[in-house]
Chain A
Amino acid sequence: MSDHDINLTVNGRKVARRVPARRTLLDFLRADLGLTGTHAGCEHGVCGACTVMIDGVAMRSCLTFAVQMDGHAVTTVEGVAHEDGSFHPVQQALHDNHGLQCGFCTPGIVMSLLSMTEGEQKASRAEILDAMSGHICRCTGYQGLHKAIAQLTEANHD
């Protein structure tokens, strides 16, 4: 079992650590860095709670190894709000529309919404709704989430 030195950027800050090869990015964020905003749900790629952005693209942190992130940039839900603590528009839209209840799935949903609304190519409302199939939410029935997405995409042409 090999250990590896990795250098990466997490929420804009440079991080250097030594990790065993088998450590997932999810466990690295939570256990090594103490960033417990990213949630561990199914740990095999189904539930979506652990979704983070890798180089600006939403991916499952449970299906990526920390060692693979050497030289890459990771953004977690802790890196989303503005510096003064005020909500990012994605968070505000979820807040305004009851887009969450217990909040377990929310960090992953925030990262998917962020990557689709701030990425190189802004996604349409239909594309964003389709991407929500990658997040299991057992509280809300997704209706508040639908409204939040509508708010986020109001300015876009679908």
Chain B
Amino acid sequence: MKPPPFDYVAPETLEEALSVLAEHGDEAQPLAGGQSLVPMLSLRIARPSVILDLNRVAALKGIAAEGSALRLGAMTRQAEVLANATVRQTLPGLQEAVNFVGHFQTRNRGTIGGSISLGEPAAENPAFAVALDADLELQSSAGSRTVRASDFYSGPYTTARTDTELLTAITYRPPANARIGTLEISQRRGDFALAGLVACLPVSGGTISDARLCWFGMGSQPLRARSAEAALEGASIASLDLAALADLALHDTDPNDDTHATAAYRHEAGRTVFTRLMTRLLGEGAAQ
């Protein structure tokens, strides 16, 4: 239960951090809050030869509203998001999602960017980024690029980030009039979700358009419920059949059988999460 030996570097500038990655590639492991990485080191699941500590890189911090968009430096801590007035004004739904992440003591150190980069399939931050289709800024010594969160994940802990890139910032662009919510079922408060859902539902004149639903804990990566999203396009809230929509939404999941829950249990928990969240966001009138 002790981490394996490694070399440690803690640069203060982004340029230095990127040069460490350029030199060491997949031998180097960026360390953000460490609330997932350090357990993985202690359990010897991860054995990097170099730990690149990002906690002293000031350029990776900061919370800023840009019009209706919200930009977070990747090293923004989860507790900072919960306490921040700009987040509360521009994207309160992010605070709801982050409040499900771990515990008070781990949110004090854990970061948004670290969680998104890790890509734990049952985690809230990746699913929230996918549901909002956030812009993920990736930088390397060679340059920078932006990847949409919907294109970022391809499997458990598998992302579009290459070994020489760092996730530097996340920009959420909530659609106008969007009703945004997160709900999950876990065994205990702070545990990983057995089934969880983030919904982003733009509603105008009682009609939904460009709905985005993203499951977490319901497959090998954050999963958009594309069939249900398509069925919601142009739908009137008053005429929704939530039971049929839940079937469609669950059709796009592939929940695991594991020690925490059976796939069948997760499926039913997912149905409950879907129904409760959609009813809360759309009103009792939608609960047919």
**Interface positions of A (Cβ within 8 A of B):** 1-2, 4, 20-22, 24, 27, 43-45, 48, 51, 54, 57-60, 62-65, 67-68, 112, 116, 121, 127, 130-131, 133-134
Q: How many A-B residue pairs lie within 8 Å, measured between CB atoms?
A: 94
Closest Cβ–Cβ distance, residue A51 to chain B (whole Å): 5
For B38, list chain A residues within 8 Å (CB). 24, 44-45, 62-65
8 residue pairs of the A-B complex, CB under 8 angstroms, read: A1-B6, A22-B4, A44-B1, A54-B109, A60-B109, A112-B104, A130-B189, A133-B104
Q: Do A65 and B189 have beta carbons less than 8 Å apart?
A: no
Q: Pick the contact of A59 from B1, B3, B7, B108 — CB < 8 Å?
A: B108
Q: Does B142 contact A (CB under 8 A)?
A: no
Q: Is B39 an interface residue when CB atoms closer than 8 A count as contact? A: yes
Cβ–Cβ contact A63 & B190, under 8 A: no
Q: Give the secondary structure class of A's interface.
A: mixed
1/0 per position for B38-51, CB-CB distance to A under 8 A? Answer: 11011100000001
The B interface, classified by DSSP as helix, strand, loop or mixed, is loop
Scoring B residues 1 to 34 as 1 if CB is less than 8 Å from chain A, else 0, what string do you get?
1111111101000000000000000000000001
Closest 3 CB pairs of A and B: A134-B103, A21-B8, A1-B5
B42 contacts A44, CB within 8 Å? yes
- Cα of A44 to Cα of B108 in the assembled complex, Å: 16
The 8 Å CB contact of B10, one of A1, A48, A68, is: A68
B110 to chain A, nearest CB (A): 9
Contact of B96 with A by CB under 8 A:
no
